[in-house]
C-alpha cells in the first residue's frame, strides 16, 4: 500500500498514524483497568482506588475517542487531497485520449479515483492503521505472562498466514470480477450512446440480449469472488473468537495453578481480542485492498502531473500551415488512413478539401490541429512543429468547427467564449463575424440563454452557427471548418458565406471541408483526397477543371500546394 505515502497524502497519513498510536495506547486502558480492579480493588476493598482507576480509564477512553475522530478526519482529508491530485489529471488525460483517439487510457479512471477516495474513508484503512500496533499488545500480554504471550503470538502468526492465503486465493477472482464488471459497464455506455438506432431499427431486444450475456458473466465472476471472500472472512472471525476462548482457558488454568491472577486472565483475553481485531478486519476487507491496489496500478502508480508550462512563448502565428509527407495509421493494426500527404498553405489563403466519404478528410484535419500525431512526417504552423507550440497558445490561435458542433451545457455566451471567462467584446465580435448575432438576439435571454446538454434546446442549424462563432472567438489565425454548412438553412448559408469572405479579407488562414461544391467557391486552392492519399492539389479553378475533364493542364498528382502556386505565378 505504498500509494498511501504519495506526496499529496503524506501529511494526512502521518497525522493518521500518530492518532492511531495514541488511540491504541489509550485502548490499553480497559484491560489494565480490569487487571487493577480484580487484583487491587477487590483485594484492598478501597473505593478511593476504584474511583481513581475509573477516572483514569474514563480519561483514556475520552482520548481514544478524540484520536479515533482525528484519524477519521485526517483520512477523509487524505481522500480529498488524493481526489484533487488525481481526478482532474485523470479527466484531462481521458479527454485528451478521446480527442486524439489514442485508445490507451482506462475509461474508468474517474471511478478508480472514487474507489481510492472511498477506501480512505472506509473501515478497511482503519484496520490497516491499527495492525502495525499488534506488537504493542503482544508485548503487554507477554509481560502479563509468557505463556499467554506465546499463545497470542502464535494466533497472530496464524491470522497473518490466513491473510497471505486470502491474497493468493482472492487475487484472480477479484481481477476477473472487476474486468467482467467493467466490460458490462462499457456495453451499457455503448447502448446508451446508440439508443436511437436501437429503437428506430428494432434492435433493442438484440442489444439487451448482448448486454445480458455480459452482465451474467460479471455476476458469475462476482459471485465466485464473493464466495471465496465470505469463506475466508468467516474463517478469520472464527479463528479470532477461538483464540479468545483459548486465551481464557489458558488463563484459567494458570489461575488454578496459581501462576497468574484472575485479573491477568481477563486482561489478557481482552487484549488479545483487541490485538487481533484489525487483522481480522483486514482479512474481511481483503477484496477491498485488492481493488484499490488494482485501481492505483491502473492510474499509473503515481499522481499524474499537469502539462508543464513552456517558458518561452512563440510569436503569434500568422497562419502558414505546412504538411511534410505526413502519414497516420488507424487504431491497432488498422490500415493507414492518411498516406504521405505534403502541402503548403500560405497564411491568409483558404484551402478546400474534398473527396468521397472515408477518404481521410477528417483525419487530415485532426493532424492539422495537432489532435493526432503523425507516425511519419511533420505538421508545421509558421514553420514550427505543432508539438513544439505551447498548448494554450496554439489553442488560442486556432479555431475549429467539428462536424457535430459539440456545444456544452451552459449559456450561449459561455459556449462562444470556449467555456472560459466571458469577454463580452470578444463574444459579440465573434458572433457578428459568424453572422449569428441577430439569431442569438431573438433567443429568450439572448446571450444568457441556457442551451442545455449538447445544445439540445437549439435546432441543428442554430447549434452549428453558434459553434462557428466559437471557432472565431479570439481572432484565431487559423480556422478549420469540418462540414460547416451541415444542417444550415438558407439564412445560415448566407451567414456562412459572409463569414468566409470576411475571414479571407482579414487575412485568416482557412481550411474547409465540405461535400457541397457550392461552398468551395471561397477556396483559393483545392485538395482532393482519395483513400488517404492526396490525389490532386492546386489552384481551385485548375483542380475543378481537371476534375471535370475540361483541361489538359499538367497538374501532377499529390502536387504540393506551394509548387502549384509557383507554376501559377
pLDDT at 99: 63
pLDDT in tens, 347-388: 888 988 888 877 888 888 888 888 778 888 888 888 888 878
pLDDT at 18: 92
Q: Pairing state of beta strands 525-530 and 321-329?
A: unpaired
The mean of the pLDDT values for the chain is 79
Nearest-angstrom CA–CA distance, 231 and 236: 9
Residue 336 binned pLDDT confidence (cut-offs 50, 70, 90): low
Mean pLDDT of 532-538: 83
Percent of the chain with pLDDT over 70: 86
Task: Choose among 176, 229, 195, 187: nearest CA to 211.
Answer: 187
pLDDT at 63: 93
Distance, C-alpha 41 to centroid of its chain: 61
Is residue 227's pLDDT more than 80? Answer: no
Percent of the chain with pLDDT over 90: 2
| Listed ranges 128-142, 163-177, 212-226, 452-466; the one with the highest mean pLDDT | 128-142
pLDDT at 381: 86
HSE, CB side, 13 Å, CA atoms: give it for residue 427.
20
Mean pLDDT of 125-143: 85
pLDDT at 308: 45
Least confident piece of the model among 63-72, 241-250, 545-554: 545-554
Is residue 104's pLDDT more than 50? Answer: no
Residue 161 binned pLDDT confidence (cut-offs 50, 70, 90): confident
pLDDT in tens, 383-423: 888 878 887 788 888 888 887 777 788 888 888 888 888 88
Q: Pairing state of beta strands 525-530 and 350-354?
A: parallel
Burial class from Cβ neighbours inside 10 Å (0-12, 13-18, 19+) for residue 195 reads exposed
Least confident piece of the model among 177-191, 310-324, 423-437: 177-191
Tell me if 346 sits within 8 A of 409, measured CB to CB. no
Nearest-angstrom CA–CA distance, 75 and 119: 9
Mean pLDDT of 470-493: 85
Least confident piece of the model among 166-170, 383-387, 475-479: 166-170
Q: Which residue has the higher pLDDT, 502 or 131?
A: 502
Is residue 538's pLDDT more than 80? Answer: yes
Q: Which residue has the higher pLDDT, 298 or 528?
A: 528
- Copy the grid coordinates of residue 5: 505515502
Is residue 62's pLDDT more than 90? Answer: yes
Q: Residues 337-374, buried b or exposed e (16+ Cβ, 10 A)?
A: bbbbbbbbbbbbbbbbbbbeeebbbebbbbbbbbebbb
Tell me if 174 sits within 8 A of 291, measured CB to CB. yes
Mean pLDDT of 153-178: 76
Q: Which residue has the higher pLDDT, 332 or 41?
A: 41
Question: What does DSSP assign to residue 388?
Answer: G
Nearest-angstrom CA–CA distance, 564 and 557: 11
Is residue 561's pLDDT more than 60? Answer: no
pLDDT at 193: 62
| Listed ranges 10-24, 106-120, 176-190, 234-248; the one with the highest mean pLDDT | 10-24
Q: Write down the pTM of the prediction.
A: 0.61
pLDDT at 100: 60
- Copy the grid coordinates of residue 562: 506551394
Sheet holding 478-482, edge to edge: 384-385, 376-381, 321-329, 336-345, 533-539, 525-530, 350-354, 509-513, 478-482, 398-401
Tell me if 499 sits within 8 A of 435, measured CB to CB. yes
Contacts of 313 (CB under 8 A, 6+ apart): 390, 393
pLDDT in tens, 74-94: 988 888 888 887 777 777 776
Query: Angle, to 10 degrees, between the axis of helix 286-298 and the axis of helix 146-193?
Result: 50
Amino acid at each position: 500500500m505504498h500509494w498511501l505515502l504519495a506526496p499529496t497524502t503524506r501529511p494526512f497519513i502521518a497525522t493518521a498514524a500518530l492518532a492511531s498510536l495514541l488511540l491504541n495506547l489509550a485502548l490499553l486502558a480497559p484491560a489494565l483497568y480490569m487487571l487493577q480492579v480484580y487484583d487491587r480493588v477487590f483485594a484492598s476493598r478501597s473505593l478511593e482506588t476504584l474511583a481513581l482507576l475509573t477516572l483514569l480509564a474514563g480519561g483514556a477512553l475520552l482520548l481514544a475517542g478524540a484520536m479515533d475522530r482525528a484519524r477519521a478526519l485526517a483520512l477523509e482529508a487524505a481522500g480529498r487531497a488524493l481526489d484533487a491530485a488525481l481526478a482532474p489529471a485523470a479527466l484531462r488525460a481521458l479527454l485528451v485520449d478521446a480527442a486524439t483517439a489514442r485508445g490507451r487510457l482506462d475509461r474508468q479512471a474517474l471511478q478508480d479515483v472514487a474507489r481510492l477516495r472511498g477506501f480512505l474513508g472506509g473501515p478497511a484503512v482503519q484496520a490497516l492503521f491499527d495492525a502495525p500496533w499488534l506488537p504493542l499488545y503482544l508485548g503487554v500480554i507477554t509481560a502479563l505472562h509468557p505463556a499467554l504471550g506465546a499463545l497470542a503470538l502464535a494466533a497472530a502468526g496464524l491470522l497473518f498466514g490466513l491473510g497471505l492465503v486470502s491474497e493468493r486465493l482472492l487475487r484472480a477472482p477479484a481481477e476477473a470480477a472487476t474486468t467482467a464488471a467493467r466490460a458490462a459497464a462499457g456495453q451499457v455506455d455503448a447502448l446508451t450512446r446508440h439508443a436511437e438506432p436501437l429503437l428506430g431499427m428494432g434492435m433493442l431486444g438484440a442489444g439487451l440480449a448482448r448486454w445480458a450475456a455480459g452482465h451474467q458473466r460479471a455476476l458469475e465472476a462476482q459471485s465466485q469472488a464473493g464466495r471465496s471472500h465470505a469463506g475466508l472472512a468467516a474463517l478469520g472471525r472464527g479463528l479470532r473468537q477461538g483464540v479468545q476462548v483459548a486465551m481464557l482457558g489458558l488463563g484459567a488454568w494458570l489461575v488454578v495453578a496459581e501462576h497468574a491472577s484472575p485479573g491477568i486472565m481477563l486482561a489478557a483475553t481482552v487484549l488479545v481480542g483487541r490485538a487481533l481485531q484489525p487483522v481480522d478486519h483486514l482479512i474481511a476487507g481483503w477484496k477491498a485492498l485488492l481493488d484499490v491496489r488494482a485501481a492505483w496500478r491502473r492510474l499509473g502508480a503515481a499522481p499524474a502531473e499537469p502539462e508543464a508550462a513552456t517558458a518561452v512563448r512563440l510569436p503569434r502565428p500568422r497562419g502558414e500551415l505546412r504538411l511534410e509527407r505526413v502519414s497516420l495509421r488507424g487504431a491497432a493494426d488498422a490500415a493507414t488512413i492518411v498516406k504521405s500527404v505534403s502541402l503548403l498553405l500560405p497564411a491568409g489563403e483558404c484551402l478546400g478539401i474534398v473527396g468521397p466519404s472515408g477518404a481521410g478528410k477528417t483525419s487530415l484535419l485532426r493532424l492539422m490541429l495537432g489532435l493526432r500525431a503523425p507516425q511519419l512526417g511533420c505538421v508545421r504552423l509558421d514553420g514550427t512543429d505543432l508539438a513544439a507550440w505551447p498548448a494554450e497558445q496554439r489553442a488560442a490561435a486556432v479555431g475549429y468547427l467539428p462536424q457535430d458542433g459539440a456545444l456544452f451545457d451552459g449559456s450561449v455566451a459561455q459556449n462562444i467564449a470556449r467555456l472560459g471567462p466571458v469577454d463580452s467584446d470578444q463574444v459579440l465580435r465573434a458572433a457578428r463575424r459568424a453572422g449569428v448575432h441577430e439569431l442569438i438576439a431573438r433567443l429568450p435571454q439572448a446571450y444568457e440563454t441556457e442551451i442545455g446538454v449538447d445544445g439540445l434546446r437549439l435546432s441543428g442549424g442554430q447549434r452549428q452557427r453558434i459553434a462557428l462563432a466559437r471557432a472565431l472567438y479570439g481572432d484565431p489565425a487559423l480556422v478549420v471548418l469540418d462540414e460547416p454548412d451541415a444542417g444550415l438553412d438558407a439564412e445560415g448559408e448566407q451567414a456562412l458565406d459572409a463569414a468566409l469572405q470576411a475571414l479571407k479579407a482579414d487575412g485568416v488562414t482557412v481550411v474547409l471541408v465540405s461535400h457541397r461544391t457550392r461552398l468551395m467557391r471561397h477556396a483559393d486552392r483545392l485538395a482532393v483526397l482519395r483513400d488517404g492519399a492526396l490525389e490532386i492539389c492546386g489552384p481551385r479553378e485548375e483542380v475543378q477543371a481537371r476534375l471535370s475533364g475540361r483541361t489538359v493542364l499538367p497538374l501532377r498528382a499529390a502536387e504540393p500546394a506551394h509548387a502549384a502556386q509557383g507554376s501559377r505565378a
